[in-house]
Structure 1
């Protein structure tokens, strides 16, 4: 079944067509899932604040707690200057009610200060290359490479990011390539080479593969992986997940 692309979503059809040609196994996932719905966001600071809130807790709980935090600000809009002010004067009990431990409070304060003094140049981020964006973001306490890669994919919509430290990605590779074990980061990079320059889009489909019966790869496993035990040896296919299931990005336990 194919679906219409939602309004306001960038047209990723060129990337989808490229990935189908490059990898028929992933192409089957694309055809089943439908159009990629990645769309950019402009509220960089809010996105990064919420990324700190989601650490060590579920996304649903983080959304609730972050909503309470936003209630502390005019129009529910935290800005770097306002966050610095609120964190400096708020009752610790109020912050705890928002799910902010002392550690997360320090992370938010450091993030706000990085944006306030220009160490994270929000007006220039869109024009910076991927590694420069990552370097700027990981300078903040509590933000590691994984969070920076998610920012590149979901906020800036960079097309060729491949977060091999994400469990959803390596589990997706295991399924799509019918491997007996999760690939190592080096093996994952080798497997993803065929998806350049659209590895972000391929990653998005790996996260949403759950409702797709996965076949063995229709193209050979790269030599760099084919000779690397034990991951590249084929395994029996797993049963398909229940229809409608989807895989979300899997946060590492700790980034710093």
Structure 2
């Protein structure tokens, strides 16, 4: 598995050398690509962990999950069937809120029903198909599924544009004054295909480098797409057309 990810990192570095010199330089400073997915983790376990971590400090979430395993999982992570059999009072005592209990139970039910694909089925589905199906689970949004795609499935071309760390890393690495809008980041990130997961991982590392005072200045200045300005122009043009049609209709 390490060899596979070394190959992905090497291929991404060669790609970025011709498409984005800032990203290529960042890779050189950070070093080898280090995202190693947990391929043994089931979709249920990955998503249950994600739900537990929502709006909680990582340490607190890990403690709750540890209690879930020791108290209700009989030493291992509960199956969907086992979780549905756990009384609400026990889940509350472990530390889950009512909202998270509802989300966990909905997740368990949808895993049993097949709405959430099995690990084997996930391998056959595209990223978009996985996002469409898994976001049907209560409390699971696009970002959560994107993290699963990257960290459990090892998908190489995921760009979580709503992730604060990715956006902040882009701002820092590319020397911008403001955080990029998600749509602008998505548009710029098209040049990273088919290695957008690699780019995302290095943007997270850029935040760490900046914190340590080791982030180099960008190799070149960039300009993000003016998506908002374009939308305003389109809206203004549409309004002009509507006004013209109304005038013609009155004649």
TM-score normalized with structure 1 length: 0.78
Taking only aligned residues, the RMSD between alpha carbons, in angstroms, comes to 2.3
Q: Distance in 1 between matches of 2:170 and 2:25?
A: 14
Equivalenced residues, count: 219
Q: Which has the larger radius of gyration?
A: 2
Quote the residue 1:79 is aligned against.
79
Is 1:114–2:110 an aligned residue pair? yes
Q: Distance in 2 between matches of 1:227 and 1:136?
A: 30
For residues 172-225 of structure 1, what are the alpha-carbon distances to aligned partners after superposition, in whole Å with 9 as ceiling and x for unaligned? 111122111111122111221221111111001101112242323426435x34
CA contact (8 A) 1:52 1:107 kept: yes
Quote the offset at 1:15 in angstroms.
Answer: 1.8
Q: Distance in 1 between matches of 2:229 and 2:17?
A: 26
The 1:23–1:228 alpha-carbon spacing in structure 2 relative to 1, beyond 3 Å, is farther
For residues 66-91 of structure 1, what are the alpha-carbon distances to aligned partners after superposition, in whole Å with 9 as ceiling and x for unaligned? 111111213322111111112xx35x
CA contact (8 A) 1:178 1:217 kept: no
Q: Distance in 1 between matches of 2:215 and 2:66?
A: 37
Higher helix share: 2
The 1:84–1:226 alpha-carbon spacing in structure 2 relative to 1, beyond 3 Å, is closer
CA contact (8 A) 1:25 1:214 kept: no
Quote the residue 2:220 is aligned against.
218
CA contact (8 A) 2:175 2:221 kept: no
CA contact (8 A) 1:191 1:221 kept: no
For residues 82-131 of structure 1, what are the alpha-carbon distances to aligned partners after superposition, in whole Å with 9 as ceiling and x for unaligned? 11112xx35x1x32332211111110000001111111121311210111
Is 1:22–2:8 an aligned residue pair? no
Q: Equivalent residue of 1:127, what SS?
A: coil
The 1:80–1:204 alpha-carbon spacing in structure 2 relative to 1, beyond 3 Å, is same
Q: Distance in 2 between matches of 1:184 and 1:81?
A: 41
Q: Distance in 1 between matches of 2:228 and 2:20?
A: 20
Q: Equivalent residue of 1:56, what SS?
A: coil
For residues 18-52 of structure 1, what are the alpha-carbon distances to aligned partners after superposition, in whole Å with 9 as ceiling and x for unaligned? 22442221222212222112223232211111000
The 1:225–1:178 alpha-carbon spacing in structure 2 relative to 1, beyond 3 Å, is farther
1:126 to 123, 126, 131: 123
Q: Equivalent residue of 1:163, what SS?
A: coil
Q: List aligned pairs for 1:159-174, cutoff 5 A.
A: 159-174=156-171
The 1:128–1:96 alpha-carbon spacing in structure 2 relative to 1, beyond 3 Å, is same
Mark the runs of 5 or more structure 1 residues left unpaired by the alignment.
1-5, 230-256
Quote the residue 2:48 is aligned against.
49
Q: Distance in 1 between matches of 2:16 and 2:127?
A: 21
Is 1:65–2:64 an aligned residue pair? yes
Quote the offset at 1:164 in angstroms.
Answer: 0.9
TM-score normalized with structure 2 length: 0.80
Q: Distance in 1 between matches of 2:121 and 2:44?
A: 14
Q: Distance in 2 between matches of 1:202 and 1:114?
A: 32
